[in-house]
Amino acid sequence: MTTAGVEHLLRELTPQVLGVLIRRCRDFAAAEDAVQEALLAAATQWPGDGVPANPRAWLIRVASHKLTDQIRSDTARRRREAEAAMEAGYAMPAASPHDDTLILIQMCCHRSLTTASAIALTLRAVGGLTTAEIARAFLVPESTMAQRISRARQTIRDSGVAFEATKNLAPVLHTLYLIFNEGYTASGGGSLQRTDLTDEAIRLARLVHALAPADTEAARLLALMLLTDARRGARTAGDGEIIPLDKQDRALWDHGRIAEGVALLGDTLPKGEVGPYQLQAAIAAVHDEAATHQDTDWPQILTLYEMLDRVSSNPMVKLNRAVAAAMVHGPRAGLAMLGELDGDPRLKEHHRLASVRAHLLEMAGETEAAVRNFQTAAARTASLPERHYLLAQAARLRDR
Amino acid sequence: MKFILMMNMKDDEQSRTKGITTWPPEDIKAHIGFMIGLNKQLRESGELVSAEGLAWPSEAKTVRAGAGGTPITDGVFPESKEFLIGYWLIDVDGPERAYAIAAQASAAPGPGGAPLNMPIEVRQIMSGPPPEFL
C-alpha cells in the first residue's frame, strides 16, 4: 500500500481504536497518547512491511501495549487506579467498532463542554487533525488550541461522562453543524485551511450517517451541508467579495453535491418526524434546483419557512420568512412582518434586520430609506466582507 | 468570536494608572503579578490569542506622510489625551464572556491593593463572510 493509502486507512481507523482504548482506561489523554504512538509505528512500518491482515486489531494491540507501558512508568498509586480501571474495561462486553466510534464522538460533543472545546476535541480525536492544523483553521496560536483540547479532555474526565452510546445524536449533529459553519463563513482569499473545515464537517457527517443510518436528522444534516457547500465556488469573487445568491453564476455550483443532497433528503422524507435540518436542507434544495434566480419557487420556500418557524422558532427564521413573503406577496408584505420584529430584543440592534429592511425598501422603491438601512447594517455587522458588500449597496443606490 | 480588550490611560498627572510610577513597590508588584496571573489564566483556558503591553505614551510619535512620502513625526500631544497602553486579543464563546474578562482586568489592584476599576474598551474583531441567508 502507498504511504497516502496507509494515511487514509489510519485516519479511518483512528476513532475506532481511540474509542476502544478510552473505554478500557477511561483516561482520554493517556489513550490519545498511546494511539498516537501506535499510529506512528503503523505509518513507519506498514508502507514497507505491508498492512497486517486485521489493521484495526493490530493498532488496538500496539496501542494497548503502549498504554500498559505508560501506566507501569507512572507512580504506584496512579498505577493501581489505572490498572483497576483497565481490568474493569477489559471485563466490559466488547462493543462493535461502530459503537466505539459513536461513543467517542458523543464524548467529544458532550453537553458539559463549551462549544469551542467540543469543536476542537472532535476535530482532534475523531477527525484526526493535528493541533497545529486546528489552530490554523481557527486563527489562534497552537498553544491556545492545545490548552483548549487539554481542558476539554479534563472536563470529560471530571464530569464522569458515560462510556456508552446513546440514541440522542442532537449534540453531535449540532457540533458538526457548527464546524461546517465555521468553515463556510471563513474569509475568502488566503485562508484555504478554513474551507478544509467544511470538508472535514462533511466527512464527519458522512461517518455519523454511516454509523447511525436510522437517524433521519443525521442524514438530513449531511444533505444540508452538501446542498449548501455546493454553492461554495460561486458565493465569493476571487478577492473575497460576497456574491449574493441572486447574482451567483449557477454553472459554478457543484451539481454532483446537489444531486447527492437531494437524494439523501428524498430517502428520509417518508421517515421520522419533521426536523429543523430537514427543513433547512429542503429550503437549500429549492434554491439549488432553480435554474435561475427568477425561477425560484418562492411560495414553496415561504411554506418551508413557516414550518421551520413552528418547529424551531428563532428571530433569524422570522427574518428569512419575511424575505420569502416579500418575494411572494410583494415588498410591503415583507416590510409589515419586519415591523413586528422591531420589538424583539434579540433583533433590534442586529445588522441583519437593517439589511433585510434595506433590500425590501429598495424593492418598494424607497431609495433614501434603503440607503440609510444599508448604512446602519454596514455599521453593525462584524463580518468584514459583508460590511464591504453593504457599503457598496448603499453607495450604488445613493449615486443612482 | 474574537475580541480586543483595550486598556487605556490618560496622560495627565491625575491619572491613577499613570500614577503607577509613584506607587509603593509592593503595590506595583501586586499589580504586575495580577496581570501575569490573568494572562496565565486566559492561556490555560484556551482563550488567549495574544496580549501585549505598549511603551509609555511619552515615547510615542504620530507619523504622517509628507511630500514624496517622507515620514513627518510629531511627538507633541494635546493634554489629557487617552492612550492605549496594552491590549488582549481573546477568542471566546460570546460577548458576555468578553465582558466578564474585561471586568476582571478592570479590577486590577492599584495603590493599597484597592481595585482600579479602570475602563476597558471591548471591540469585536471583524470576521469572514456571514452564513448565506437563504
Q: What are A295-349's pLDDT values in tens digits?
A: 999 999 999 999 999 998 888 899 999 999 999 999 999 999 999 999 888 888 8
Amino acid at A111: R
Average pLDDT over residues A34-47: 91
Q: What is the mean pLDDT of residues A214-238?
A: 92
The label of the residue with cell 506512528 reads A40
Q: Which residue of A has its CA nearest to B47?
A: A144
CB contact under 8 A, A283 and B134: yes
pLDDT at residue A90, rounded to an integer: 53
pLDDT at B61: 84
Q: B50 contacts in A (CB within 8 Å)?
A: 141
Predicted confidence band of residue B129 (pLDDT cuts 50, 70, 90): confident
Length, in residues, of chain A:
400
| pLDDT tens profile A267-305 | 987 777 888 999 999 999 999 999 999 999 999 999 999
Over residues A180-193, mean pLDDT: 60
Distance (Å, whole) CA A213 – CA A98: 11
Whether the predicted model's global pTM rises above the 0.80 cut: yes
Distance CA A189, CA A179 (A): 19
Angle at A298 between CA A297 and CA A302, to 5 degrees: 130
Which three cell numbers, joined as nine digits, stand for A139?
486563527
Query: 10 Å Cβ neighbour count for A206?
Result: 14
- Grid cell of A102 as nine digits: 459513536
Q: Quick check: B127 and A383 CB within 8 A?
A: yes
Specify the pLDDT at position A173.
95
6-65 in A: which are within 8 Å (CB) of B? none
Question: What are the DSSP calls for A186-212, one per residue?
Answer: S-STT-HHHHHHHHHHHHHHHHHHHH-
What is the edge-to-edge ordering of all strands in the sheet holding B120-124?
B48-53, B82-91, B2-10, B120-124
Q: Are B3 and B100 in contact (CB under 8 A)?
A: no
Sequence-ordered list of residues with C-beta below 8 angstroms from that of A25, at least 6 positions apart, any chain: A31, A67, A71, A82, A85, A86, A89
pLDDT of residue A85: 60
| Average pLDDT value for residue range A68-72 | 80
How close A284 comes to chain B (CA, Å)?
A: 7
- Report the complex ipTM: 0.76
Residue of chain A whose alpha carbon sits nearest to that of B91: A140
Q: Which long-range contacts (CB under 8 A, 24 or more apart) does A152-157 make?
A: A152/A108, A152/A113, A152/A117, A152/A118, A152/A120, A152/A121, A153/A28, A153/A29, A153/A32, A153/A121, A155/A112, A155/A113, A155/A117, A156/A28, A156/A107, A156/A110, A156/A112, A156/A113, A156/A121, A157/A26, A157/A27, A157/A28
Q: Which residues pair with B2 in a beta bridge?
A: B91
